[in-house]
């Protein structure tokens, strides 16, 4: 009787990201196997590969020690390695989600903490500069990431002291975002008024257990693992594959307290934005917003265009839909309840606008998002 395929998996089991990928691989193996899966640790540091009882059939990793062996291998790292087929997160979209949020709240100083070779940083820098935001030089990653915590903490404090405020920072992971929060607290910098911090992964055990709670971009890590396993399966069967990378789009931004600030210098525009935030559960109008800040509707329109590049009505719609998106992600509220929470008089109107804003129906968005979360 032939053995089931032996698949070696190299992923960081200690990290939320790595565990999510491994769960996706497991689910594919259960759905389409049977496979025999063996975790060898990141870069095979945790296991002697020479001690394997039989020859492996494929690799999801990659594993540098096995580069000389001609076996089907799928790369799940953040950079291309040789000509290995690759499945990874769409880092361009991660950066675009971050900058969309930063720009929407008026941040004109932007920086980043993470590996500078990442497409995530390159794209964030590109689009921030395109909108004339001031991009602050990232911390020296090669010096930073291998240091013990107390040395990283000192480096972060020194880096933050050199910032121009207010500044928005995208951290490569939620854990790095939490370290930025700790350094900002030590410097008595207010988050988010002085420093807005956003992580990536949406690991709730990190994001919800820091103060203030950390905004984060949720990644479809389970799907990365599942698609990597599916690609390897086609390779094992000798099927032709496309050499273009398979890039998995992020699920969306989960905003929390660490970015709840409007970095807008124009006081009346800022006050108008705050009024919109505070009354978003009501059917507010442009006239009401203008009256609150003692401006004519036309003058307020002009000020919003000059400062934010959008009208007050567009801002009301954006805030409503962002809140609706968050409620779809974080709660089981019905669409009619979400309509009440976001100032929509008709559920059908909300449903139509969500579909235009998110590209899919509300229930489909909730199902896609919540089905890929692992707590």
SS3 368: helix
| Last residue in a domain, options 209, 231, 259 | 259
Residues above pLDDT 70, as percent of the chain: 92
pLDDT digits (tens, 9 = 90+) for 27-47: 999 999 899 998 887 654 545
Question: Quick one: which of 307, 283, 312, 308 has its CA closest to 296?
Answer: 312
Cα three-residue angle 89-94-96, rounded to 5 degrees: 140
Q: Is the pLDDT of residue 13 over 50?
A: yes
Q: What is the DSSP letter of 250?
A: P
Virtual torsion, Cα 316, 304, 255, 147, nearest 10 deg:
180
- Residue 66's pLDDT is 62
Domain at 360, CATH number: 1.10.10.60
Whether residue 77 is found in the same domain as residue 95:
no
Q: Is the pLDDT of residue 261 over 70?
A: yes
Q: Is the pLDDT of residue 375 over 80?
A: no
Q: Is residue 315 part of a domain?
A: yes
- Residue 85's pLDDT is 92
In the structure encoding, which two tokens stand for residue 249, read together?
């789009």
Which of residues 21 and 49 earns the better pLDDT score? Answer: 21
Q: Is residue 1 part of a domain?
A: no
The beta strands (E) that lie in 55-139 are given as 58-61, 73-75, 87-89, 109-113, 134-135
Other CB atoms within 10 A of residue 141 CB: 17
Whether residue 85 is found in the same domain as residue 227:
yes
Virtual torsion, Cα 338, 343, 347, 348, nearest 10 deg:
-130
Whether residue 199 is found in the same domain as residue 144:
yes
Structural domain including 205 reads: 91-218+253-259
Spatial separation of the C-alpha atoms in residues 306 and 373, rounded to whole Å: 39
Q: Is the pLDDT of residue 206 over 90?
A: yes
- Residue 371's pLDDT is 57
User: What's the full length of the chain, in residues?
Assistant: 375
In the structure encoding, which two tokens stand for residue 85, read together?
């087929």
Q: Is the pLDDT of residue 49 over 90?
A: no
Whether residue 81 is found in the same domain as residue 227:
yes
Number of domains within the chain: 3
Q: What is the DSSP letter of 43?
A: G
- Residue 322's pLDDT is 85
Whether residue 272 is found in the same domain as residue 339:
yes
SS3 192: coil
pLDDT digits (tens, 9 = 90+) for 50-104: 656 678 889 998 776 665 566 899 999 888 888 889 999 999 999 999 998 998 8
Contact 251, 201 (CB under 8 A): no
Whether residue 119 is found in the same domain as residue 230:
no
pLDDT digits (tens, 9 = 90+) for 276-285: 988 999 999 9
């Amino acid at each position: 009787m032939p053995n089931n395929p032996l698949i070696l998996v190299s992923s960081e089991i200690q990290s939320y990201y790595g565990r999510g990928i491994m769960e996706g691989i497991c689910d594919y193996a259960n759905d389409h196997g049977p496979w025999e899966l063996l975790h060898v640790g990141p870069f095979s540091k945790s296991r002697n590969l020479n001690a394997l009882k039989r020859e492996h059939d494929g690799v999801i990793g990659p594993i540098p020690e096995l580069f000389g062996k001609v076996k089907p291998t799928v790369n799940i790292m953040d950079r291309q390695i040789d000509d290995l087929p690759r499945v990874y997160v769409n880092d361009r979209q991660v950066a675009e989600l971050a900058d969309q949020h930063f720009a929407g709240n008026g941040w004109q100083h932007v920086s980043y903490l993470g590996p500078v070779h990442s497409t995530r940083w390159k794209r964030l820098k590109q689009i921030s500069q395109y909108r004339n935001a001031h991009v602050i030089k990232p911390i020296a990653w090669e010096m930073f990431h291998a240091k013990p915590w107390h040395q990283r903490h000192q480096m972060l404090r020194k880096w933050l002291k050199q910032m121009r405020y207010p500044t928005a920072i995208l951290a490569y992971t939620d854990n790095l975002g939490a370290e930025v929060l700790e350094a900002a607290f030590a410097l008595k910098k207010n988050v988010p008024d002085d420093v807005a911090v956003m992580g990536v992964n949406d690991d709730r055990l990190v994001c919800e257990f820091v103060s203030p709670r950390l905004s984060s971009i949720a990644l479809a890590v389970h799907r990365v693992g599942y698609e990597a396993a599916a690609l390897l399966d086609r390779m094992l069967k000798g099927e032709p594959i496309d050499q273009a990378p398979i890039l998995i789009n992020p699920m969306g931004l989960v905003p929390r307290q660490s970015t709840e600030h409007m970095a807008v210098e124009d006081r009346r525009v800022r006050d108008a934005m705050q009024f919109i935030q505070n009354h978003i559960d009501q059917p507010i109008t442009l006239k009401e917003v203008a009256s609150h800040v003692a401006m004519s509707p036309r003058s307020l329109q002009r000020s919003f265009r000059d400062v934010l590049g959008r009208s007050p009505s567009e801002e009301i719609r954006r805030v409503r839909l962002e809140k609706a998106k968050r409620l779809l992600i974080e709660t089981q509220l019905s669409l009619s309840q979400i309509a009440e929470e976001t100032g929509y008089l008709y559920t059908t109107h909300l449903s139509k606008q969500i579909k235009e804003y998110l590209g899919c129906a509300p229930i489909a968005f909730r199902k896609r998002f919540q089905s890929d979360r692992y707590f």
